[in-house]
Amino acid sequence: MRKILGLLAVILLLILSYIFNIYSANYPSKLRSNLISFDFDAKVFIYAFVIILFLSTLFAFIPLKNKIYSYKFFTSFFIFSSIFMIINFIGNFKQYFDKKNEFENLLVKTNRQAKSDIQKGLIKYYYFGGDSILDNTYSNHPKLQYEIDSLTRTYGVVFLNEGGSIDLISLELNKKYKEYTESYLEKRNGKNWKLKMEEEIETIKQKYRNR
């Protein structure tokens, strides 16, 4: 019974090791269920588990005085699993602290950039992929973008497209930048300024709907 409980404990630790691997690889994002998938890392853990079982079975056949097969198998399994988990945890901790230090350095730069933009009176709102202000329907109107850009600048905001691809760190930094500059924009434009700006943008778009 103790051997079975020990086997289950090892399997649980292997699962926790895999989850920590996902967390460290995706830091600073919070651990979410959609990050856990049957990807390359999951296959590595499965292959490692199969190899550990195979090696444990082989070592269990080595004749040892007064040691039965099950004892040799479970002992080998615990040893190989422990070695794998130690190596994996060391790698994951290194990956975690490397990403943590990188993110913290980027946060300092983002905070510095936010302060600089506040002093200049022009906050940069980055978006990724599709156009967050212009609909594709109006992309053929060259004056539309100019009018909307002029309007947003009166609120101290300029929208910049960062392209179609986006990584998790960029999303987090963009979120932090907005947090750093939110109080400035509210102090400058008043409460509910975003709603007011969006209504004015919609008014501009109305002019181009039937053109």
Q: What is the mean pLDDT of residues 194-210?
A: 84
Statement to judge: residues 125 and 202 lie in one domain? yes
pLDDT score recorded for residue 135:
53
Is residue 196 in a domain?
yes
Pair 70, 151 in one domain: no
130 located within any domain = yes
Residue 41 burial (CB < 10 Å; 0-12/13-18/19+)? middle
CA gap 182, 176 in Å, rounded: 10
User: Could you read off the pLDDT of 75-85 as tens digits, one per residue?
Assistant: 888 889 888 88
The two structure tokens encoding residue 53: 């079982």
Q: Do 79 and 138 reside in the same domain of the chain?
A: no
Burial of 69 (0-12, 13-18, 19+ CB in 10 A): exposed
In this structure, the answer to whether residues 99 and 134 fall within a common structural domain is no
* Residue 11 belongs to some domain of the structure: yes
Q: Is there a single domain that holds both residue 93 and residue 154? A: no
Which structural domain, as residue segments, surrounds residue 144? 121-206
Q: What is the pLDDT of residues 109-147, one digit of tens each?
A: 999 999 999 999 999 988 766 555 555 555 567 788 888
Res 201 pLDDT > 70: yes
> Which pLDDT score is estimated for 84?
87
If asked whether residues 125 and 88 sit together in one domain, one would say: no
Percentage of the chain modeled with pLDDT above 70: 83
Give the global pTM: 0.69
Across the range 60-75, mean pLDDT stands at 82
The tally of domains found in the chain comes to: 2
